[in-house]
Structure 1
Amino acid sequence: MSDWPQVICIPGSVAPAALRYGPLMNHVGDDAEFHLKDLEVYRESAPPADYSIEEEVEALDRFADSKSLDSFHLVAYSGGGFISLAFGGIHRQRVISLSLFEPARIPGELTDEESAFFSELESKLRGLQGDQFMAMFVREQVKAGVQLSPPTGPVSPEMRKRPAGIAALVRAFPEFHFDRNDLRSCAFPVFYAYGDLSHEEQAVKAGILARLFPDIRVQRFAGIHHFVPPEMIYTSEYARSLLEHWRRAEQSAR
């Protein structure tokens, strides 16, 4: 095992890994070595017709091999959280710890409460494209009354891929076959964080995972939601929590 934590970071469907995790890397500094892994759904200019979560899980496995990492800490946000939960259930021997901020969804059969939320979200997104799609996607995932900042500046070519990529992920989530009970045998510790301004569905997912993982810590952060800038999520406080999480996991893994 390395002298410092080896950490693979997977972003969500909006910001690429370098942008998503830049603030976290700045706060952690030399106390960990980071390996950034972007989503396969954005590898080409448009998502492949046969895109699947299996593709993301297999790509993450290959990425770890390419870095000569037999085991590692996994950090994920939003859609990357779904992929990381799937990876952890399938390749649990490779994961030293898992750290999630508001995973987009939990793999496997949905509870009635989850199903109601996602059915409504998919219904509202159906038929929308471009800016209209993004506006609805964002609006539906924060609490009522939360003020959202409008986008600033021109839209980059990379960001123009996002609506199609998000739609591909939303379609791929229910197609991925997964038994949630597989998470019960995961020995690695889990850190689950969410913002108190995000939709209540985030707290629902925290409760579900707390009943599945044998070792999980849940923390709610005040004044933030799913779409605040990364620096508002990955603060020095958040970085300290992760460093403590990684150190405890490495001691347990020895």
Structure 2
Amino acid sequence: MEPIRTILLPGSVLPAQAAYGGLIAALGPDVEAIAKDLELYTDDEPPADWTLDTEIDGVLREADARGWESFHLAGYSGGGAVALAFAAKHPERLLSLALLEPAWAGNWDWSPAHTALWKQYEQLETLPPEQFMPAFMRLGVKPDVALPPPADPPPAWMAKRPAGIRAFLRTFKTYDLERARLAAFRQPVFFALGGLSNPDDYGDIASRLSRVFFPDFHLEVFPKRHHFDPPHRIEPERLAELLRRHWAQAGVGAVVEPVETDPLETHGG
């Protein structure tokens, strides 16, 4: 039997292997999962002309180098925004799409609360580096969530992250996520949402995508998780089972038994 092939895109903070190592182990040997780092961090500074299209080109190079005509794509946060943009531009290459709290999903049909939140994100660009990351993280969670302290000393790769996050925020303002092409995407879409994440951000995105697009859309809520302790790191075994079920629905890989979940914890899109 052919292995299940998937590319996993990280967010704008953790490197790909650190983000997805636990999930890859939980998926098992019959899943060929590639944790692909963002093109954004290839050099010390983001390329001046970097956009989501730069990341799309990187995904295409990765798949083509492996001879993958089609594959599953999963992305978290900034990588989730890349995954959405890839689905709009190259739907013929994807067997399915998995979105783990994508950071952005187009600039249309925003709720008033989501619009107000993004005004706060725009204000981050004026902050000095020592204030930027704490303020950025605070916007992604509910007000009463206690965030972990930063690593002391920080890892070497962290020095690139504020500039990388700013690059994402800039391209989100102007990138043309092709709404009509996204609306034509018919492959299964899985969305993982943390119950402690900011509902005006990721909850709003989940609601909009399920309402406007994607006829085959499944929303899975992880009640105790938030954007900075996401399920692919904290609950990799549960997420691995859910992804395998999702991929089986796309007609690839072995049929797996449904995952038993508390009905109060799972909400259909």
TM-score w.r.t. length of structure 2: 0.88
Aligned residue number for residue 164 of structure 2: 165
- 2:5 corresponds to: 6
1:8-27 paired onto structure 2 within 5 Å? 8-27=7-26
SS of 1:8's partner is strand
Q: 1:231 to 1:108 in 2, by over 3 A?
A: closer
Change in CA separation of 1:175 and 1:209 when aligned onto 2, cut-off 3 Å? same
- Structure 2, unmatched stretches of 5+, are 254-269
Output the amino acid matched with 1:169: F
Please report how far the alpha carbon of residue 108 of structure 1 lies from its aligned counterpart in structure 2 after TM superposition: 4.3
Residues 229 and 217 from structure 1, CA distance in 2 versus in 1: closer, same or farther, beyond 3 angstroms? Answer: closer
Superposed CA deviations along residues 57-88 of structure 1, whole A, max 9, x for unmatched, are 12211221111110000011000001100000
CA gap of 1:229–1:209, structure 2 versus 1, over 3 A, is closer
Q: Counterpart amino acid of 1:228? A: D
> Which residue pairs with 2:258 in the alignment?
none
How far apart in 2 are the matches of 1:99 and 1:88? 10
Q: Please state whether the residue corresponding to 1:68 is helix, strand or coil.
A: coil
Q: Is the 8 A contact 1:86 1:107 kept in 2?
A: no
Cα offset, 1:168, TM superposition: 0.7
Aligned residues: 250
**Residues 42-191 of structure 1 correspond to what in structure 2 (within 5 A)?**
42-113=41-112, 114-123=114-123, 125-191=124-190
Paired with 1:53 and 1:235, the residues of 2 have a C-alpha distance of 27
Instruction: Specify whether residues 68 and 151 from structure 1 end up closer, same or farther in structure 2 by C-alpha distance, changes over 3 A only.
Output: same
Task: Provide the secondary structure at the position in 1 that maps to 2:3.
Answer: coil
Q: Counterpart of 1:51 in 2: which secondary structure?
A: coil
Residue 202 (structure 2) aligns with: 202
Give the secondary-structure state (helix, strand or coil) at the position aligned to 1:115: helix
Q: What's the counterpart of residue 244 of structure 1?
A: 245
Tell me how far apart the structure 1 counterparts of residues 234 and 249 of structure 2 sit (CA, whole Å). Answer: 22
Identity %: 40
Query: What amino acid sits opposite 1:238 in the alignment?
Result: L
SS state of the match for residue 28, structure 2?
Answer: helix
Q: CA deviation at 1:239?
A: 0.9
| Cα 1:51/1:107, change in 2 over 3 Å | same
Take 1:35 and 1:5, find their aligned partners in 2: how far apart are those partners?
Answer: 11
The one-letter code sitting in structure 2 at the alignment partner of 1:135 is P
Quote the Cα distance in structure 2 between the aligned partners of 1:135 and 1:27.
31
